[in-house]
Amino acid sequence: METKTNKLNARDFIFIGIFAAVALLIFFIRAEALIPPMLCVVIKGIKADCNHLIRTTYPDALRRGC
C-alpha cells in the first residue's frame, strides 16, 4: 500500500496558475466597470467645490494669503 504525500506536482501548479489568472481577469473586468463612474463622481464633486469657493470667497481673502 502506498502512502499519500501532500506534495504539489507540476499539474497542480498549472491548475493554480490558471485559476489565479482567471480570478485576476474577472477582478480587473469588474473593477474597470466600477472605477470610471466613481472617478467621475469624485471629479464632479471637486469641480463643484472649487466653483463654489471661487464664487463665494471675497477678493481680499485671495490677495492676503494665509
Residues 32-64: pLDDT tens digits? 666 667 667 777 877 887 777 777 766 665 565
Whole-angstrom distance, CA of residue 20 vs CA of residue 17 = 5
12 is a domain residue:
no
52 is a domain residue:
yes
Handedness of CA 43, 44, 45, 47 (dihedral sign): positive
Q: What's residue 56's pLDDT? A: 73
57 is a domain residue:
yes
Domain housing 57: 35-66
When pLDDT is averaged across residues 15-31 and rounded to a whole number, the result is 82
15 is a domain residue:
no
> How many domains, the chain?
1
- The position carrying cell 463643484 is 48
55 is a domain residue:
yes
When pLDDT is averaged across residues 6-22 and rounded to a whole number, the result is 82
Alpha-helix runs per DSSP H in 1-66 = 10-56, 59-64
50 is a domain residue:
yes
What's the whole-model pTM score? 0.40
